[in-house]
Amino acid sequence: MTEAIQKTLRDSKSARWTALGILSFTMFAGYLFNEIISPMKPIIERVYGWDGSDFGMFFSAYGWFNVFFLALIFVGFVLDRFGIRFSTIASVFTMIVGALLKYYAFSTDFGGRELLGFDMQLMLASLGFAIFGVGVEYAGITVSKAVVKWFKGKEIAIAMGMQVSIARLGSFVPLAFGAAMATAWGVPTSVLFGVLVLIIGFLGFLVYNVMDKKLDKQVSETEDASDEDKFKLSDLKVIIDNKGFWLIAILCVLFYSAVFPFYKYGPDLMVNKFGVSDKWAGIIPAIVPFGTIFLTPLFGGIYDKKGKGASIMILGSVLLIIVHFVFYLPAITSVYMAFINAIVLGIAFSLVPSAMWPSVPKIIPEKQIGSAFAFIFWIQNFGLWGIPLLIGIVLERTNPGVATGIQEVMTDLKAQNLTGDQFDEKIKLLREAGEYPIYNYETTWLIFVGLTILALVVAIMLKREDKKKQYGLELPNIRD
């Protein structure tokens, strides 16, 4: 039996890492499109006339269907019931549909028309982002289960770390270059670029499915698949009754709510507090996902070989508190300090996921792992919906008249028939002279500080629960 099992694809190092590479590229495509708009807030504000509340609505739309229509709970059932191959195709197709609607919204002049009482362009862009949000979260759940399938009992933490790293590279590209792309190509063309990358990711999933089908055939020939091992709806009780699961889920929503909204508002913070130009507003926030490309697999490797998963999550939470407190402090306006702080945020953002995701299979049996990931992603989406919306509302209410002031300046500059370079230079001079309205993020950033403190409390509780229940979070993943 052992000799037969060793002949399956997942026991081939090159095969399982090839599968991981294909899965990771599609997540790269999803993360790239997810952040394609993030560094463009100042540009969209000027071109389309959106204010802080509009951005809050748009960014929070990511969680509309995931949270309120229980889409992630549904796709978790679908994944466990119909399998990885079906879910790869369904998830990426959903992403592409949402992405195309978002592109249509930004590329069309609706002449001020409204839909459901909102500006039609804003509503359609938000709806497209909401549909895309279902697809990319569905893909994330599917990929997580696929990685467990190929790497359980092997280099699971470093594999998950590599997958996260490549996905984070997808966040880095638009954050670093998205504003420059929008300046050169325009917002619609930049969004279309993201759509094309998603289509390439879809083709990659087709290739993966060939490998997955072959693996399933080999496993069915060498391992017994009794009815007891198949997922049943009643199995959800195993997840719901598990305190360790809930602690990981709550840590996830707190931690990601303190990081992902930073991608959305961090570029604008760099412009308004640190004086970075609109064109390069995303460069410093882009350091965060760029750092994770190298560090997440490193920390995952440490977890695989040495253990200490719960302790790693506590350390990451502590660093996150320090980072957001530094961004909050009104006296710190140095670009160099912002740069250093972003590096520390990248380290924190590498530590927690490198230990958190590989810990789930230690707490939940494999046949329920898809639904477990779905529940975690669903709870996470409460933060991805609520926190950007809250930040947008607080930002607008604590900065009354700023959005209107920006539009007044833009109206005046447009009347002067300036070239693109002259336009940018004028805005730069107005900012230096203190005549261009800016947002004050002090009160808004306290939201991030509060989230990070709560994350630390939950991480400590998780370590105590692990000690009590002996989940093995502090033990290595690689079995001798």
Q: Would you state the structure tokens that stand for residue 367, as one six-digit string?
A: 């046949």
Which DSSP category does 64 fall into? I
In a domain, 430, yes or no: no
Q: Residue 41 CA to chain centroid, in angstroms?
A: 18
Which of helix, strand or coil describes residue 433?
Answer: coil
In a domain, 56, yes or no: yes
Count of domains for the chain:
1
In a domain, 361, yes or no: yes
Provide the CATH number for the domain around residue 91.
Answer: 1.20.1250.20
Q: What is the mean pLDDT of residues 15-26?
A: 94
In a domain, 249, yes or no: yes
In a domain, 255, yes or no: yes
Which of helix, strand or coil describes residue 224?
Answer: coil
Nearest to 317 by CA among 292, 357, 278, 349: 349
Pairing of strands 118-119, 114-115: antiparallel
Question: Using an 8 Å Cβ cutoff, are 382 and 253 in contact?
Answer: yes
What average pLDDT does the structure give for the chain? 88
pLDDT exceeds cutoff 90 at 92: yes
pLDDT exceeds cutoff 70 at 224: no
pLDDT tens digits, one per residue of 376-435:
888 888 998 899 999 999 999 999 988 888 888 888 887 887 776 777 788 878 888 888
pLDDT tens digits, one per residue of 245-286:
999 999 999 999 999 899 889 999 998 999 888 778 888 998
Range of the domain at 357: 14-221+238-399+439-469
In a domain, 346, yes or no: yes
What pLDDT, on a 0 to 100 scale, did the predictor assign at position 1?
40
In a domain, 426, yes or no: no
Q: How many Å apart are CA 152 and CA 208, to the nearest integer?
A: 18
User: Which residues on adjacent β-strands are paired with residue 118?
Assistant: 115
Q: Would you state the structure tokens that stand for residue 79, as one six-digit string?
A: 């994944």
Q: What is the pTM of this model?
A: 0.78
**How confident is residue 450, by pLDDT bands cut at 50, 70 and 90?**
very high
In a domain, 433, yes or no: no
Q: What is the mean pLDDT of residues 11-39?
A: 92
Can you say whether the dihedral through the CA atoms of 111, 117, 121, 122 is positive or negative? positive
Between the alpha carbon of residue 79 and those of residues 75, 84, 85, 167, 238, the distances in Å are 6, 6, 9, 21, 17
pLDDT tens digits, one per residue of 128-143:
999 999 999 999 999 9
